[in-house]
Structures are given as C-alpha cells and as structure tokens.
A = this chain, B = another copy of it.
C-alpha cells in the first residue's frame, strides 16, 4: 500500500491547496500509469467559471491530453473524495483500471456539497426531479443511432 498512500496524500494536498488558493472546493486527484504520475488536478469551478471543472474531470482531461487518447487504459485514479455522479460518469467513460478515494459522499454533504443530493435525484422518476426533464417526441430521431452504427469509419469510445 506504500505507493497508494503517497499518491492519495498528494491528492489530499492538492485538495487543500486548491481550496486555499480560492480555485474551488477541497478536492484533488492524481492519475498514475505504471510508476508515473501522468496528471494532477484540483477543483477549479470558481477560478474557471466552469461547473464541470471538478478535480476528476480536470485530471482526466489532462491525462488524456498527455496520452493522446480518450481512454485511460491501465491507469489508476487517486481522489481525495468519492466522485460525484458527474465524475463517476467521467471515470466510466475514461475506463481506468481502478479508483482509490478517501472522503465519502457523506463527508462532502457535510461540507454542503450536492454530491449525495444528485445521487438521490438520479434514482427519482423524471417527473419528481428538482430540475424538470421534459421529453419531446420527434419521429425517427433515433435513426441517428442507426446511422452511427452504419458509419463505415466509426470509432467506438
């Protein structure tokens, strides 16, 4: 566990320093491939006016840029906190081999972050959600996906 602890402590340090510099909430991430740290990130929602600039998203984007691919094959993500649903989704799309985390969604809720609230909203039926999601039916719109499947140069992601 020695290396894991080194990386996770760095993630916690990034969380602390990012918060103190006013970039955003106390969240930090380190992404490792083999023995190499390929990306670090901290929450930059406030400094970048970007609600998607969570530590995980920031670090995943940097790691993919570094590797020149949209997949984190063989990579390990170390996060100061259990990912929110947005970041969990980002992790699934990036497909690393494992995620280590320290604080939990309940800890984040005690810091007045919406992680747990959003996890609860996901499981509500659409009509009960706090943001209205309204379905519009348009005939044959789903043919987009048939066209996608038939695309001769299609690259899956």
Contact = CB atoms under 8 A, between A and B. Distances in A.
A82 B68 CA distance: 29
Contacts of A157: 24-25, 45-46, 51
Contacts of A80: 141, 144
Can you tell how many copies of this chain the complex includes?
2
A64 interface: yes
B145 A110 contact: yes
B70 A61 contact: no
A25 B148 contact: yes
Given A51-B93, A103-B141, 15 more contacts: A25-B148, A45-B157, A49-B68, A51-B64, A51-B94, A52-B90, A82-B133, A86-B89, A88-B118, A92-B118, A100-B135, A101-B136, A102-B135, A102-B141, A111-B149
28 contacts: A8-B136, A9-B138, A12-B138, A12-B144, A19-B148, A25-B157, A45-B70, A50-B64, A51-B71, A52-B94, A80-B141, A80-B144, A82-B133, A85-B88, A85-B122, A86-B87, A86-B92, A92-B114, A93-B118, A96-B131, A99-B132, A101-B134, A101-B135, A103-B142, A103-B145, A111-B144, A111-B146, A112-B149
